[in-house]
């Protein structure tokens, strides 16, 4: 295949960040809030650059009329919708097979009802998968999984944060997956499950350092840091650039609870994040074919 890039967004409601940080959800806004702010801005951003992307949605959020309106608009503009599970349980891989299947099936039904087609891709809550979960996806005919995130810096940072919360007695719902993920391929590869093969499209990490190339790290490094890592990105044949809808929110302008200032993306104003993302997308458009993840899966299958 030629060089391909995919822009994709995890549409995690703000209530999920309260769960990560062990906070009470009493102050969390409605499920449609992240759709009308962050996701809507990503739809605008992709449109400005003439790109179609993939949105991973938590299906229970689609009951909210505001969320449904934004999703319907994105469908009309040609974006792909994939599954991020039904309720985004951080401990999905620790549940029994029936519970995991229920999460996947209910998400399929809700996404299919709204978009007109069942999702062909999946991303697990917290990036954590297991052989049993991948087997269920293969059984149900998914074209790809995009949960693999083999980033050593990210894994160590997550372990440190969860350890700190545990010492403080704060009950985060997030869990740490197996360190085996750190040795897996950075590039698309086929996973052999008991139910058949499943294409894995990993979230991009850079060569050698396995530094994560995601919205959060772009915000942290800023424009000067991005320009430093660009030469390393040029050597990556498949860029799977993952954002979160919260990345295009503005903490002050959107009146987001100060409790979420624990999120690094909340400490940078939208006026700095949007131009940075514009710069990154222009760079990718200049050197890669931009495809949805479903199109990437189709291209991979055709060339193998």
pLDDT at 248 over 70: yes
Instruction: Read off the pLDDT of each residue in 43-57 and give the average, rounded to a whole number.
Output: 98
Instruction: Read off the pLDDT of each residue in 75-95 and give the average, rounded to a whole number.
Output: 98
Amino acid 304: pLDDT: 60
Instruction: Read off the pLDDT of each residue in 120-139 and give the average, rounded to a whole number.
Output: 98
Asked whether the beta carbons of 111 and 79 are under 8 A apart, the reply is: no
Task: List Cβ neighbours of 6 (8 Å cut-off, separation of 6 or more).
Answer: 53, 54, 201, 238, 239, 240, 241, 290, 291, 292, 293, 295, 296
Give the dihedral of Cα atoms 199, 38, 36, 109; nearest 10 deg. 10
Task: List Cβ neighbours of 222 (8 Å cut-off, separation of 6 or more).
Answer: 272, 276
Q: Tell me, which fold does domain 4-303 have in CATH? A: TIM Barrel (3.20.20)
Amino acid 301: pLDDT: 78
pLDDT at 1 over 60: no
Instruction: Read off the pLDDT of each residue in 278-298 and give the average, rounded to a whole number.
Output: 97
Instruction: Read off the pLDDT of each residue in 66-71 and give the average, rounded to a whole number.
Output: 98
Tell me the whole-structure pTM to 2 decimals.
0.97
Q: Quote the CA–CA distance of 182 and 10 in Å, as a whole number.
A: 21
Instruction: Read off the pLDDT of each residue in 136-143 and give the average, rounded to a whole number.
Output: 98
pLDDT at 302 over 80: no
Instruction: Read off the pLDDT of each residue in 9-33 and give the average, rounded to a whole number.
Output: 93
Percent with pLDDT over 90 in the chain: 94
- Spell 214-236 as b/e; 16+ CB within 10 A means b: bbbbbbebeeeebeebeeebeeb
**Paired residues of 80 in beta bridges:** 54
């Amino acid at each position: 295949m030629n060089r391909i890039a995919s822009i994709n967004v995890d549409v995690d409601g703000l209530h999920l960040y309260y769960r990560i940080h062990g906070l009470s959800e009493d102050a969390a806004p409605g499920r449609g809030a992240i759709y009308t702010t962050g996701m809507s801005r990503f739809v605008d951003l992709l449109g400005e650059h003439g790109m179609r992307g993939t949105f991973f949605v938590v299906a229970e959020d689609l009951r909210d009329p505001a969320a449904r309106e934004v999703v319907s608009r994105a469908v009309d503009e040609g974006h792909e919708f994939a599954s991020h599970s039904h309720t985004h349980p951080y401990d999905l891989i620790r549940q029994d097979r029936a519970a995991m299947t229920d999460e996947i099936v209910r998400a399929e039904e809700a996404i299919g009802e709204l978009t007109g087609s069942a999702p062909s891709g999946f991303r697990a809550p917290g990036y954590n998968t297991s052989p049993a979960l991948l087997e269920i996806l293969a059984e149900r005919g998914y074209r790809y999984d995009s949960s693999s995130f083999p980033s050593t810096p990210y894994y160590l940072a997550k372990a440190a944060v969860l350890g700190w919360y545990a010492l403080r007695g704060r009950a985060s719902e997030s869990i740490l997956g197996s360190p085996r993920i750190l040795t897996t391929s950075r590039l698309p590869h086929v996973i052999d499950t008991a139910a058949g093969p499943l294409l894995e499209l990993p979230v991009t990490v850079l060569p050698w350092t396995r530094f994560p190339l995601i919205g959060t790290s772009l915000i942290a490094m800023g424009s000067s840091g991005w320009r430093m890592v660009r030469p390393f990105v040029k050597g990556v044949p498949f860029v799977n650039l993952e954002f979160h809808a919260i990345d295009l929110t503005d903490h002050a302008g959107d009146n987001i609870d100060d409790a979420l200032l624990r999120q690094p993306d909340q400490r940078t104003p939208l006026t700095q994040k949007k131009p940075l993302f514009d710069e990154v997308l222009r760079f990718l458009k200049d050197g890669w074919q931009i495809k949805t993840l479903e199109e990437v899966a189709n291209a991979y299958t055709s060339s193998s």
